[in-house]
C-alpha cells in the first residue's frame, strides 16, 4: 500500500514546500493556525499537510506543538545551501508526466519531442536551480579528492554546468582558478548571475550552444566536469563527447563525471535503478549506466586511469585521466 500510494508523499511534500511550511516552522510557527496565517493557506489545508508530514517523518509533534525534524531542517528550509524544496516542487509538477509511463514504456521512449533533445528547453531553467542543492555537496567532495584548493592557476571546463554550481564551489575554494561553462545561452546567463552574486563572475566565462557541436579546445583545461549529463545521452554520444574531452584536457588533466550509476549486474543501488524511468520519459537514448559502461566508453575515448567514488547522495563520482 505504501508503494501504491507513493505519490501521496510527493504531493504532500511538494505542496508543503510550495507554501514554505518548513521555513515557517523553522521560524517558530508551531500550529496549523499559525502556519495557515503565515503561509496564507486554509487552516484545514495546513492541518492536512501537517498530518501528512508527521506521517512522512518530516515534522514531529511534541506536547501539541509541531516542529521540523533535523532532516527537514537541513534539507527543506529555504535559503540554506542544502535546501531541496525547489526540487520537491519540481517533482510534484512532473507527476502528470509519470502518469503517461505505461504508454512511454510501450513505445520505448517519449511520445512527443524528448525533453533533453529540445534546444533551449525551458525545463532546464527550473531544473538546474533546483538541482544545485544536490550538486553542491558532491562538488565539495570532488574538490577535496582533487585537492583543488592547492591546485594553483587551473582551468576548468564544465559541460552542461547548469546553475554553475561546480564553478561556484571550486572558484571559491581556489582563488587562482578560472572556469568556462558550455551550456545553452539562457542557462549560462542564470549561472553567470549566480556567480556574480558570489563575486566570482570575473573568473567565469561561457560558451553558449549545443555541447555536441561545441569546440572544447585542445590541451586547454586541467579539469573537465560532466555532471548529470551522461544519463541523458546514449552510448555513442557519451563516447564521442568523452573523446572530445580527452583532447581538451591538458596532459595529466582529469575528467570528473557525476551521475546515478548502477552496479554492473543491475542489482542496485535503488535510486539509480529507479531513475532509469525518468530518462525513458524524457530522453530518446538516455538511461542509468553501469560502472562497466563508463569504463568501456572511457577506455575507447583514450582514458586509461578510471576510479569511482561513492558519495552520501544518490550520485557517484568518476575520475578519469
Ligand atoms: C541535469 S542538468 C545538470 C546541471 C549541472 N551539471 C549539475 O550537475 O547540477 C543538465 C544541463 O545540461 C544542459 N544541456 C542539456 N543538453 C544540452 C545540450 N545539448 N547542449 C548544451 N547544454 C545542454 C542543460 O541546459 C542543463 O544545464
Q: Are 230 and 283 in contact (CB under 8 A)?
A: no
CATH among 3.40.50.720, 3.50.50.60, 3.40.50.150, 3.40.50.1000 for 98-320: 3.40.50.150
Q: Please state, in angstroms and as integers, the Cα–Cα distance from residue 105 to each residue in 88, 101, 211, 280, 281, following that order.
A: 24, 6, 28, 8, 8
> Tell me, what's the pLDDT at 124?
83
Q: Is the CB of 124 under 6 A from ligand 1?
A: yes
Q: Is the CB of 165 under 6 A from ligand 1?
A: yes
pLDDT tens, position by position, 14-39: 999 999 999 999 999 999 999 999 99
Specify the DSSP element, H or E, that contains 298: helix 291-300
pLDDT band at 114 (very low <50, low <70, confident <90, very high): low
Q: Using DSSP, state whether 76 is helix, strand or coil.
A: coil
Ligand 1 pocket: which of 91, 116, 126, 162 to mutate (most atoms within 8 A of CB): 162
Which residues of the chain does CATH 1.10.10.10 include?
Answer: 6-80
What's 72's DSSP letter?
Answer: H
Atom 16 in ligand 1: residue holding the nearest Cα: 116
> Tell me, what's the pLDDT at 104?
96
Task: State which fold the 6-80 domain adopts.
Answer: Arc Repressor Mutant, subunit A (1.10.10)
Could you tell me the strand order of the sheet in which 306-310 lies?
A: 204-208, 178-183, 155-159, 221-227, 249-259, 316-320, 306-310
Q: Ligand 1 centre and the CA of 229: distance in Å? A: 6
Q: Is the CB of 184 under 6 A from ligand 1?
A: yes
Ligand 1 pocket: which of 128, 164, 244 to mutate (most atoms within 8 A of CB): 128
Which residues of the chain does CATH 3.40.50.150 include?
Answer: 98-320
| Residue keyed to cell 552574486 | 197
pLDDT tens, position by position, 174-233: 999 999 999 999 999 999 999 999 999 999 999 999 999 999 999 999 999 999 999 999
Amino acid at each position: 500500500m505504501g508503494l501504491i500510494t507513493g505519490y501521496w508523499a510527493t504531493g504532500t511534500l511538494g505542496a508543503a514546500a510550495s507554501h514554505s511550511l518548513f521555513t515557517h516552522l523553522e521560524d517558530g510557527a508551531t500550529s496549523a493556525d499559525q502556519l495557515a496565517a503565515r503561509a496564507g493557506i486554509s487552516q484545514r489545508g495546513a492541518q492536512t499537510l501537517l498530518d501528512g508530514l508527521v506521517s512522512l517523518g518530516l515534522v514531529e509533534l511534541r506536547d501539541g506543538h509541531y516542529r521540523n525534524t533535523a532532516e527537514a531542517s537541513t534539507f527543506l528550509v529555504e535559503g540554506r545551501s542544502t535546501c531541496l524544496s525547489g526540487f520537491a516542487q519540481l517533482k510534484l509538477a512532473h507527476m502528470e508526466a509519470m502518469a503517461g509511463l505505461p504508454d512511454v514504456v510501450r513505445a520505448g521512449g517519449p511520445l512527443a519531442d524528448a525533453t533533453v533533445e529540445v534546444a533551449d528547453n525551458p525545463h532546464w531553467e527550473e531544473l538546474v536551480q533546483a538541482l544545485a542543492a544536490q550538486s553542491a555537496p558532491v562538488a565539495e567532495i570532488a574538490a577535496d579528492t582533487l585537492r583543488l584548493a592547492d591546485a594553483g592557476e587551473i582551468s576548468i571546463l564544465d559541460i552542461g554546468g547548469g546553475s554553475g554550481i561546480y564553478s561556484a564551489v571550486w572558484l571559491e575554494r581556489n582563488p587562482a582558478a578560472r572556469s568556462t561553462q558550455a551550456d545553452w545561452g539562457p542557462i549560462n546567463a542564470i549561472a553567470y548571475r549566480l556567480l556574480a552574486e558570489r563575486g566570482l563572475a570575473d573568473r567565469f566565462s561561457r560558451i553558449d550552444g549545443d555541447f555536441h557541436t561545441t569546440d572544447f579546445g585542445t590541451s586547454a583545461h586541467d579539469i573537465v566536469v560532466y555532471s548529470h549529463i551522461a544519463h541523458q545521452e546514449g552510448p555513442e554520444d557519451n563516447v564521442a563527447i568523452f573523446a572530445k574531452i580527452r583532447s581538451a584536457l591538458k596532459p595529466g588533466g582529469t575528467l570528473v563525471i557525476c551521475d546515478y550509476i548502477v552496479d554492473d549486474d543491475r542489482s542496485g543501488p535503488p535510486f539509480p535503478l529507479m531513475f532509469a524511468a525518468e530518462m525513458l520519459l524524457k530522453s530518446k537514448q538516455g538511461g542509468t549506466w553501469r560502472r562497466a559502461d563508463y569504463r568501456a566508453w572511457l577506455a575507447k575515448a583514450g582514458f586509461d586511469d578510471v576510479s569511482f567514488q561513492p558519495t552520501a547522495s544518490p550520485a557517484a563520482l568518476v575520475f578519469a585521466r
